[in-house]
């Protein structure tokens, strides 16, 4: 039976230069010329990445490439980490044959929360203060055979605490090892933008979808941090073909972290 590739392609934006309109010469009638907007070049031109580092699905075995500040401010890596054609979002892509970390068998193109202008890794307690991540994102592509991708998560110590995970058309919020803890929707369409939000305080994590509280996760860990991007939950052992054309992809147009 032929396999069906699950993917959505972004529309091709057509750019056209328009000559400035010059009115016939008249007394006291100025000529108006609008300066064109400067095009974006790097993901940091679209998202505030001051307190993040980037992990790519490239590099050496169990030692993927990491980009930290200040280099992240002027970095992109097509097609894994790049601005979209409209210059209003950043695309994250991880192919099934990508390099993985030592603690996972799955590839990722993913941001990891940092502090102090990107110098130190974030690590906060779910029982002290309030910690919030708000991400506006859309899943764009899923790998073959095992069409699962994580788009945003709260990570604690050595494992994830709760994530937004798309499996085909079913969008779940997880709770530890329970990958199907809460079903948000069973008819998600690739390319649909939504707001994912985590609020951690008083030993609980409230998880919101488009402003609505979907579920609350009990968690009292003190080594937590946020992550966002494309964490593809498939590899060459369970998804074919084993090449860079078989991937998960997520687009993020806004990301904000607050601690209080």
Q: How far apart, in whole angstroms, are the C-alpha atoms of residue 173 and residue 208?
A: 9
CA-derived radius of gyration, the chain: 20
What span, in angstroms and rounded, lies between the C-alpha atoms of 102 and 221?
A: 22
- Give the pLDDT score at 97: 98
Contact 132, 257 (CB under 8 A): yes
99-111 burial code (b ≥16 CB/10 A, e <16): bbbeeeebbbbbb
CA angle 11, 233, 207 (to 5 degrees): 80
Cβ atoms of 157 and 220 closer than 8 Å? no
Q: How far apart, in whole angstroms, are the C-alpha atoms of residue 244 and residue 94?
A: 8
pLDDT at 37: 54
Complete DSSP assignment for 57-94: EEEETTEEEEE-TTGGGG--BTTTEEE-TTSS-EEEEE
Q: How far is CA 7 from the centre of its chain?
A: 16
- pLDDT at site 39: 78
* Ranges in the chain, pLDDT < 50: 1-36
Distance from chain centroid for Cα 217: 21
Residue with tokens 């506006």: 136
Number of Cβ atoms within 10 Å of the Cβ of 223 = 14
Asked if 131 contacts 199 with a C-beta cutoff of 8 angstroms, the reply is: yes
57 contacts 109 by C-beta, under 8 angstroms? yes
Helix (H, G, I), strand (E, B) or coil at 107: coil
- pLDDT at 32 (0 to 100): 39
């Amino acid at each position: 039976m032929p396999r069906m590739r699950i993917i959505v392609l972004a529309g091709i934006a057509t750019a056209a230069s328009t000559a400035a309109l010059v009115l016939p010469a008249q007394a006291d009638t100025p000529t108006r010329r609008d300066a064109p907007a400067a095009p974006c070049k790097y993901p940091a031109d679209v998202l505030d990445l001051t307190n993040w580092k980037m992990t790519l699905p490239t590099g050496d075995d169990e030692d993927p490439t990491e980009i930290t500040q200040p280099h992240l401010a002027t970095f992109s890596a097509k097609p894994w980490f790049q601005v979209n054609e409209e210059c209003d979002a950043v695309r994250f892509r991880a192919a099934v044959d990508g390099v993985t970390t030592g603690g996972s068998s799955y590839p990722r193109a993913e941001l990891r929360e940092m502090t102090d202008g990107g110098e130190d890794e974030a690590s906060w307690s779910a029982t002290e203060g309030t910690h919030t991540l708000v991400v506006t994102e859309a899943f764009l592509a899923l790998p073959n055979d095992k069409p699962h991708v994580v788009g945003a998560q709260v990570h604690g110590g050595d494992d994830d605490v709760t994530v937004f995970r798309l499996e085909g058309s079913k969008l779940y919020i997880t709770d530890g090892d329970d990958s199907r803890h809460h079903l948000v929707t069973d008819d998600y369409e690739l390319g649909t933008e939504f707001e994912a939000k985590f609020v951690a305080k008083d030993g609980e994590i409230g998880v919101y979808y488009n402003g609505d509280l979907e579920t609350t996760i009990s968690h009292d860990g003190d080594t937590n941090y946020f992550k966002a991007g494309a964490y593809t939950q498939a590899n060459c052992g369970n998804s074919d073909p084993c090449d860079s054309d078989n991937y998960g992809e997520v687009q993020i147009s806004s990301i904000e972290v607050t601690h209080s």
